[in-house]
């Protein structure tokens, strides 16, 4: 059996595809996979590719249990690929190190995403809180004060990550927005490491993602409501516009009012802490 943790992007999704900095943290929820003899889970394209790159035969069956909503910004496809590769390699008696696991998970991400930056596989494979720039060695961050966050489900996006990345590519104003997001991530990194408030920066990144055109009406309305209750919010991951926009980060001094609103509106959420040693 092998486990791979999901991830949440604190700052820098989409701009990371263009070479900007992203800050990403692994979360305690994730995906478990094991090789089974009886009927396994249905094989998605990513699962088939993961078995193949791990060197397994196509008749290998795997059972997958996921705590991550699919396609909702928490790195579900990278976590599925990584956990399947690990369990197949265990089964074949060929242990895998982290660097090879990263390379192979990245191969599978290409099936799911087309042109991935690699931020999802990096987080899922190496864990912790990392500063990631495409094609560069990743940097592990030690943050001064752990951050308590709420992850709010704005609904499953109708679009794939690939479609959302393409949508950004077609936005004529993308250059300036992407540059601003990258700069925000740099400022946030400094504050996280040295200590300091990042609430305002979360909000600013959230608003820039709205301008970039990756946040749908439902998530924008919810953002306004949560901001009205004093929270800082941004979507995390690729987003979505037609229906849901996936998971949204909410940070607040007092979560009680937010919990009440979400409970009354029957919106799913969970709480997590980033940066605990
Ligand atoms: C998806 O979790 C993050 C994106 O920036 C895509 C990528 O970096 O490959 C939207």
User: What digits encode the pLDDT tens for the residues 16-42?
Assistant: 999 999 999 999 999 999 999 998 888
User: What digits encode the pLDDT tens for the residues 240-251?
Assistant: 999 999 999 999
Decide if 181 contacts 12 (C-beta within 8 A).
Answer: yes
Report the residue among 11, 20, 120 best suited for mutation to probe ligand 1: largest number of ligand atoms under 8 A from its CB: 120
pLDDT of residue 277: 64
HSE of 10 in the Cβ direction (CA atoms, 13 Å)? Answer: 35
Give the mean pLDDT of 117-143: 96
Tokens 């929270």 label which residue?
Answer: 231
Report the residue among 9, 11, 16, 215 best suited for mutation to probe ligand 1: largest number of ligand atoms under 8 A from its CB: 16
pLDDT of residue 276: 77
* 238 Cα nearest atom in ligand 1: 10
Count how many residues are written for the chain: 277
Q: Virtual CA dihedral for 15, 16, 19, 25, nearest 10 degrees?
A: 140
Decide if 26 contacts 7 (C-beta within 8 A).
Answer: yes
More confident residue, 70 or 89: 89
Give the mean pLDDT of 36-63: 95
Residue with CA nearest ligand 1 atom 10: 238
pTM, full prediction: 0.96
* Least confident segment among 48-52, 109-113, 164-168: 109-113
131 CA distance to ligand 1 middle (Å): 14
224 CA distance to ligand 1 middle (Å): 24
Residue with CA nearest ligand 1 atom 9: 116
pLDDT of residue 216: 98
Residues 6+ apart with CB under 8 A from 272: 8, 27, 28, 148, 149, 150, 151
247 CA distance to ligand 1 middle (Å): 13
pLDDT of residue 144: 84
User: What digits encode the pLDDT tens for the residues 165-205?
Assistant: 999 999 999 999 999 999 999 999 999 999 999 999 999 99
């Amino acid at each position: 059996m092998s486990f791979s943790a999901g991830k949440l992007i604190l700052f820098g999704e989409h701009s990371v595809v263009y070479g900007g900095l992203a800050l990403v943290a692994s979360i305690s929820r994730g995906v478990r996979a094991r090789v089974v003899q009886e009927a396994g889970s249905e094989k998605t394209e990513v699962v088939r590719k993961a078995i193949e790159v791990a060197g397994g035969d196509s008749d290998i069956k795997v059972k997958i249990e996921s705590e991550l909503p699919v396609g909702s910004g928490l790195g579900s496809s990278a976590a599925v690929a990584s956990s399947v590769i690990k369990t197949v390699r265990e089964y074949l008696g060929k242990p895998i190190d982290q660097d090879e696991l990263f390379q192979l998970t990245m191969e599978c991400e290409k099936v799911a995403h087309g042109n991935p930056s690699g931020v999802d596989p990096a987080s899922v494979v190496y864990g912790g809180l990392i500063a990631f720039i495409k094609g560069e060695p990743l940097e592990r961050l030690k943050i001064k004060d752990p951050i308590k966050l709420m992850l709010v489900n704005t609904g499953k996006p109708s679009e794939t990550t690939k479609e959302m990345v393409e949508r950004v590519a077609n936005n004529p104003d993308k250059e300036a927005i992407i540059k601003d997001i990258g700069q925000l991530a740099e400022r946030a990194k400094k504050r996280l490491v040295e200590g300091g408030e990042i609430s305002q920066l979360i909000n600013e990144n959230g608003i820039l993602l709205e301008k970039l055109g990756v946040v749908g009406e439902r998530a924008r309305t919810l953002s306004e409501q949560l901001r009205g209750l004093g929270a800082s919010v941004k979507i995390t991951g690729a987003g979505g516009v037609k229906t849901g926009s996936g998971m949204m980060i909410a940070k607040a001094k007092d979560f009680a009012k937010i919990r009440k609103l979400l409970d009354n509106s029957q919106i799913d959420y969970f709480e997590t802490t980033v940066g605990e040693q």
